[in-house]
Amino acid sequence: MEKEFLKITAIEKIYDGGSINETVAIDHITCSLSKGEFAVLVGGNGAGKSTFLNLISGSVKPTQGAISLDNQSLVEMPEFLRSRFIARVKQNPNDGIVTSMTVAENLALAKFRGCRAGFQQGVKKDQRVEFSELLAPLGLGLEKRLDVQIGLLSGGQKQAIAMVMAILAKPKLLLLDEHTAALDQKMSKKILEITEAIVRQSGLTTIMITHNINDAICYGDKLIILNNGKIVSEKNGKIKKALRVLEVLEKFN
């Protein structure tokens, strides 16, 4: 795999700097991901996980440091430009979808994100075939519900569609921000299985946040543990993760 596809160098985020409320959310983090690598990010509440993703996506600007993706600097690039090649699936199933539109219309919006031609009203026959072929392997029967208003679907069904929407525009990086946290245990497991299949098949460089330590052990190529805005452990390989993670988590308690 290509080295340092995503490169983060001495990144720092301080809120209310110089005041009595000064908070160091991210404390000089340096790390990198290879192209196609699937990293899982864990840590306690307030560890800096979401801020870390916000810095990469551009919704938060760093106090200092550098971020580059595929040899392109991101720090001065606004979020709307980054969104053309960075996809993000959030915890709330309604984030990133238009609940009043159909499944097919939402998928079409995602497909043409960042394209000059843009979204055109109505979904063409060949697009419907493409969307059905993408949804069928998920095993949720969604390929038969292309004309259903997406807001009427369950949270798990929405997240499964959100995963497909995330890859339609062929992004370079996928950010998963606790995207199964709002689901019940059975559906969470299903969405994680779908996630793993989509990430592996597409070869997408991915960072996934989870609070579930079992998920952190079972999924991904690399485990990154954050605590107080710092990386306290960064390990490759599932066996190494399983052995090391329990030791590190003892420090959180």
Q: Where are the domains of the chain?
A: 1-85+171-185+199-253, 100-168
**pLDDT for residue 117 is more than 80:** no
Q: Report the length, in residues, of the chain.
A: 253
CATH of domain 1-85+171-185+199-253: 3.40.50.300
**pLDDT for residue 119 is more than 60:** no
pLDDT at 81: 92
> Burial, 93: exposed, middle or buried (Cβ in 10 Å; 0-12, 13-18, 19+)?
buried
pLDDT at 251: 53
Contact yes or no for 121/104 (Cβ under 8 A): no
Q: Which range has the worst mean pLDDT, 70-79, 172-181, 214-223?
A: 214-223
Q: Which two tokens stand for residue 141?
A: 């029967």
Q: Which two tokens stand for residue 160?
A: 């499964």
- pLDDT per position as a tens digit, 59-70: 999 999 999 999
Spell out a b/e string for 135-174, using b for 16 or more CB atoms within 10 Å of the CB, else e.
beebebebbebbeeebeebebbbbbbbbbbbbbbbebbbb
User: Would you place residue 103 in the very low, low, confident or very high pLDDT band (cuts 50, 70, 90)?
Assistant: very high
- pLDDT per position as a tens digit, 88-99: 998 888 888 889
For a pLDDT cut of 70, what percent of the chain falls above it? Answer: 89
Q: Which range has the worst mean pLDDT, 194-203, 208-217, 222-231?
A: 208-217
Q: Say how many CA atoms lie within 13 Å of 113 toward its Cβ.
A: 24
User: Would you place residue 143 in the very low, low, confident or very high pLDDT band (cuts 50, 70, 90)?
Assistant: very high
> Burial, 59: exposed, middle or buried (Cβ in 10 Å; 0-12, 13-18, 19+)?
middle
Look up the pTM and report it.
Answer: 0.88
User: Kind and range of the H or E element at 230?
Assistant: strand 230-236
User: Would you place residue 107 in the very low, low, confident or very high pLDDT band (cuts 50, 70, 90)?
Assistant: very high
